[in-house]
Amino acid sequence: MATGKKFERIAGELRAQIRSGELSPGAKLSAETKLAEEHATSVPTVRQALALLQSEGMIEKEHGRGNFVRRPRRMVTRSNDRHQWEKDRVTADLDVRSSAGSTEHDTGLDVDALVFSAKYTRVRADAEVADALGLEQGAPVLERIYRTWHRDERSPFNLVRSYMPIDLITSNPALLDEANEPWPGGTQNQLHTVGIELDRVVERVTARPPTAEESDELDLSVGIAVMVIEKSSIDTNGRVADWSEIVLPGDRTASVFTTKLERW
């Protein structure tokens, strides 16, 4: 005799169909009433089974349309060589800098496959930002909010907020205008235009549950954590020229760290 709760057995059968390919990515599941009929059970029991599969990230519910097998999201591999890669391109020709940025580097996608948005706002540094940039609280900073999507997906790869001290960049007014984004060569080239060279990038990586807003914007399934990177870009004079917080979905981000070791 079969053991386990009824909804778990229904979820198990649907899970097996998804893993075998019988139900392919993007396929629509039968209506809840039909599933209840097929499994000789009630609609609430079927909903429990579907909720379990949704929490595992195997299906997604679209209100008014039904339940669908979740399409695999594009993985982002973030390695620590990305910063030197960007620095090596700072003085390259415009065509080279325009051909690819850090997102293309991390995803392997072409520029034409991406949708990018940027929003700039002049704000006063709160306690967190002031501490990160080594400024007095209330100092003027430029807040930059970035989102990048694959054109065929509805959620961005990550959520980025970046802060630069205003006094570092006012000599080039173009750096204060979001209309110039995406900037060929990224932040390191932006800083180069005002005579700033980065010496090192320090990244602090943690993980936590997402906020409700993050979960909604990143389209996270229940139970999926986010990875948070606090990134300090430090110039050759020891000043933090840019501080960023990057929130990445835990189910489609891989961080790869390679450390070269000295030989005996």
Question: How far, in Å, CA of 154 to CA of 29, rounded?
Answer: 21
Is 63 in the same domain as 178? no
Residue 262 has pLDDT above 80, yes or no: yes
Decide which of 69, 87, 119 is a domain's last residue: 69
DSSP assignments along 52-100, one per residue: HHHHTTSEEEETTTEEEEPPPPPPEEEETTHHHHHHHTTTS-HHHHHH-
Is 105 in the same domain as 194? yes
Is 58 in the same domain as 94? no
Cα–Cα distance list, 74 to 26, 137, 152 (Å): 15, 39, 10
Residue 261 domain flag: no
Residue 54 domain flag: yes
The pLDDT, as a whole number, for residue 4 is: 58
Residue 1 domain flag: no
Q: What is the mean pLDDT of residues 170-190?
A: 96
Is 191 in the same domain as 97? yes
| 147-159 residue pLDDT tens | 999 988 889 999 9
Residue 186 domain flag: yes
pLDDT-based confidence at residue 82 (cuts at 50, 70, 90): very high
Decide which of 37, 69, 101 is a domain's last residue: 69
Is 42 in the same domain as 84? no
Query: What pTM does this model have?
Result: 0.81
Is 249 in the same domain as 215? yes
Is the previous residue joined to 182 through a cis bond, with omega within 30 degrees of 0? yes
Is 200 in the same domain as 242? yes
Decide which of 69, 90, 109 is a domain's last residue: 69
CATH code assigned at 161: 3.40.1410.10
The pLDDT, as a whole number, for residue 96 is: 92
Q: Which one is predicted more confidently, 63 or 194?
A: 194
CB-based burial label for 87 (10 Å; 0-12, 13-18, 19+)? middle
Is 31 in the same domain as 126? no
Question: How far, in Å, CA of 175 to CA of 183, rounded?
Answer: 9
Tell me if 200 sits within 8 A of 234, measured CB to CB: yes
Per the structure, how many domains does the chain have? 2
Residue 151 domain flag: yes
| Nearest of 120, 118, 117 to residue 149 by alpha carbon | 117
Is 46 in the same domain as 130? no
Is 27 in the same domain as 124? no
Q: Which domain holds residue 210?
A: 76-256
Tell me if 189 sits within 8 A of 89, measured CB to CB: yes
Residue 232 domain flag: yes
Is 177 in the same domain as 159? yes
Q: What is the mean pLDDT of residues 94-119?
A: 91
Residue 153 domain flag: yes
| 92-103 residue pLDDT tens | 999 999 988 888
Residue 262 domain flag: no
Helix (H) or strand (E) holding 167: helix 166-169
CATH code assigned at 39: 1.10.10.10
Is 20 in the same domain as 134? no
Residue 242 has pLDDT above 60, yes or no: yes
